[in-house]
Amino acid sequence: SINTGMRTKMASIEIRKSDFTQIRTLVEKYKTLNNKKNLIEEQLRKSQLNFEQVATTLDKIVNDSLGNNNYDLRKIRQPTEVGLDFKKQDFSLTINAINLDQLVKILYQIESGNNPIFLGKIDVAKSDPNQGTLKAVIEIFSIVNAKNKQPSA
């Protein structure tokens, strides 16, 4: 009858309205997530440093803090993936004789400086108790392009 047909059409309209609302919500979520993804990718692109660039940056930081470049820098593992286009390269920075003030200055410059080097784990032990020096092993990392393209300096 006419009432049944009308109810069916109304139910169909309500279902379509609900579907449309869900689709609109999903589109907005997609836009938000896509914007976040683009922002992160841009930050990663700007944060790329190869081994030579990391070494040059650390030379300046360590020399400013210690007055010398008496440290050892090594890659400690193969790069690990960060998204589709980037990899995280881990390094170990070893300084055999450093005082606490110098260590704090180096850590501050790495973490707060304008360079895209990031702090990881830090191990500190007494190096020479008579002189009050420490041995510091600082794990740091940088971002590299997964497709082996070198970032522009």
Q: How far apart are CA 41 and CA 86, in angstroms?
A: 9
What is the pTM (predicted TM-score) of this model? Answer: 0.68
Task: Give the pLDDT of residue 1.
Answer: 66
CA angle 148, 152, 153 (to 5 degrees): 125
DSSP string, 19-75: HHHHHHHHHHHHHHHHHHHHHHHHHHHHTB--HHHHHHHHHHHHHHHHSS---EEEE
Model confidence pLDDT, tens digit, residues 38-57 = 988 888 888 888 888 888 98
Residue 142: closest CA among 40, 57, 70: 57
